[in-house]
Amino acid sequence: MSTIQAIILAIVEGITEFLPISSTGHMIIASSLMHIASDEFVKLYEVAIQLGAIVSVIILYWKKFFPLNRWNFYFKLIIAVVPALILGFLLGDKIDQWLQSPTIVATTMLIGGIVLLFVDNIFNRSTIDSEDKITYGKGFIIGLWQCLALIPGTSRSAASIVGGMQQKLTRRLAAEFSFFLAIPTMAAATGFKLLQAYKTNPAIITDPNNIKLLLIGSFIAFIVAMIAIKFFISYLQRYGFKLFGIYRIIAAIVLFILIWKGILV
């Protein structure tokens, strides 16, 4: 993978990570169009640059995270992230197999797109507009919804936001709680992937060129994710999810075409 390819993938990651359109699906499309071989480092890179996106949430919402004595806030996130951590650990090998199936990604992209066309009408009676009103029980249920994102192409953001709306959160609060929930979820996934790579093939992480690409990718993902988050919150409050649903359906069709043409197998 060249530096230019790494930069493009980082931009794709930054744009799609917090939008309900599946970063995995877009990574697959981008990698395919650029003819990037899916080797061990590329798989690690696509996960590791999520750290940059995580930092963007902390910077944008720093008042939520500092000072560090907001135990109630942190406990809610811990409770909400537990289901995904447990299932992610138990299904790790299966998830890797799913990631290698573009058909699964395209199918979940399509189903998720159809759901987003109607979600604003289905969950239109929000009563919770403050993070303080989110109970531990509601946080846990939102965490269960997030587990759907273990199926590649579902979108962690989409699953947790829809889960929040199902629990009566406003669209804005559901999106923000999804951002907060991403921090422990993605940090755990990235840390596990880095540790796994170090144990199986330390040269992947210690190679100077790989380190350079990881640093560049993480920084670009950080900058782009900040812009994407600001846009998403503003757009979501005004217009809802329908456009994202249409976009997902189009992206799924692109994936199916790439599969049909034999470009993705």
Task: Please state the rounded mean pLDDT for residues 84-112.
Answer: 80
Interacting residues of 227 by C-beta distance below 8 A, sequence separation 6+ = 14
Model confidence at 100, pLDDT cuts 50, 70, 90, reads low
Asked whether residue 219 carries a pLDDT value surpassing 90, the answer given is yes
121, exposed or middle or buried, with CB in 10 Å at 0-12, 13-18, 19+? exposed
Asked whether residue 190 carries a pLDDT value surpassing 90, the answer given is no
Q: How high is the pLDDT of residue 24?
A: 80
208, exposed or middle or buried, with CB in 10 Å at 0-12, 13-18, 19+? exposed
Asked whether residue 93 carries a pLDDT value surpassing 80, the answer given is no
C-beta separation of 95 from 261 below 8 A? no
What share of the chain in percent tops pLDDT 70? 96
Task: Please state the rounded mean pLDDT for residues 48-61.
Answer: 91
Express each pLDDT in 113-154 by its tens digit.
999 999 999 998 888 988 889 999 999 999 999 999 888 888
Host H or E run for residue 62: helix 62-65
What share of the chain in percent tops pLDDT 90? 53
Asked whether residue 265 carries a pLDDT value surpassing 80, the answer given is no
Q: How high is the pLDDT of residue 203?
A: 84
At 21, which amino acid appears?
I
Question: Rounded to an integer, what distance in angstroms lies between the CA atom of residue 14 and that of residue 10?
Answer: 6
Model confidence at 224, pLDDT cuts 50, 70, 90, reads very high
Q: How high is the pLDDT of residue 92?
A: 67
Question: Rounded to an integer, what distance in angstroms lies between the CA atom of residue 177 and that of residue 102?
Answer: 29
